[in-house]
Amino acid sequence: MGLKYFFVSALVLGMLFMHAANGRIPVEYDFPNAFSPDGDGNNDFFRLLPGSTATLETLQVYNRAGELVFDNKRDGKSEWDGKYQGKEQPIGTYVFYSRVQLSAGGDLVNDSRELLLVR
């Protein structure tokens, strides 16, 4: 028993997994580190990855100038399409802040990471 070490996350058949020494364990949530809102039907939106079981409470995206370009509560959407005020945002690095509730009334988790917008 004791402490378990987890490594290498993967998306398999729509489910997130982290590999452990004793098998695969589902991950409650994750976000991509890049997306491409180019209308090709692949990775067109920034959102929780498929297979996430957590509930999104807050998702905010900031540009390099620190301007809030997406807020799920303000914009009434749970995913960002790469636009701000109807205009496509430039290719580059953005920072996002999220707050998710883990499944079955679990803990609230705050997270902040970088995100790459590519076209």
pLDDT 10s digits, 10-26: 444 444 444 444 444 45
* 98 assigned to some structural domain: yes
How far apart are alpha carbons 4 and 109 in whole angstroms? 21
Q: What is the pLDDT of residue 7?
A: 42
Q: What are phi and psi of 73, to 5 degrees?
A: -75, -45
| Residue 21 falls inside a structural domain | no
With contact defined as beta carbons under 8 Å apart, do 59 and 52 qualify?
Answer: no
d(CA 117, CA 103): 29
- What is the predicted pLDDT for the residue at 106? 84
Q: Examine residue 8 and state whether it is found in any structural domain, yes or no.
A: no
What's the pTM value of the predicted model, to 2 decimals? 0.78
Tens digits of residue pLDDT in 69-80: 999 999 999 999
Residue at 76 is within a domain: yes
Count of structural domains, the chain = 1
For residue 12, tell me if it sits in a domain.
Answer: no
Q: Residue 55 is part of a domain; what is its CATH number?
A: 2.60.40
Name the residue type at position 29: Y
6 in a structural domain: no
Residue 6 corresponds to which tokens in the numbers above?
A: 């987890």
Percent of the chain past pLDDT 90, that is, above it, reads: 66
Question: Residue 33 above 60 pLDDT?
Answer: yes
